[in-house]
Structure 1
Amino acid sequence: MKIFYLFLLFPLLSTSQVLGEKYINADSLVTTTISFENSKFKKSSGLMLAHGGHISQGKYIMKNDTIILEYIPYKVEKSKYEILSKSDSVRPEFGKNKKFDSKTVSISFSLFDTNNELVRNPYLILKSENKVIGSINPIGTNQFNYISSENSIEEIEIMKIGYEPVEIPLENFRGFISDVKVTFKLADPDTYNTDKKIEKYLWNKNDDVLQLLNDSSKSTIYKRVTNNN
Structure 2
Amino acid sequence: MNAVLLNARASATFDTKLAQATALLQQATQDYAPGRPGVAPRITLACSLGAEDMVLAHLVNQLQLNIGIFVLETGQLHPQTLALLQRLKANSRVPVEVFTPVNESVLQFVAREGKDAMYKSIDLRKACCQIRKMEPLGRALAGKAAWITGLRREQSGARAEVPLIDTLDASRVKFNPLANWTWGDVWFYIAENHVDYNPLHDQFYPSIGCAPCTRAISLGEDFRAGRWWWEDESAKECGLHVKAGQ
Structure 1 or 2: larger strand share?
1
Normalised to the residue count of structure 2, the TM-score between the two structures is: 0.18
Larger radius of gyration: 1
Structure 1 or 2: larger helix share?
2
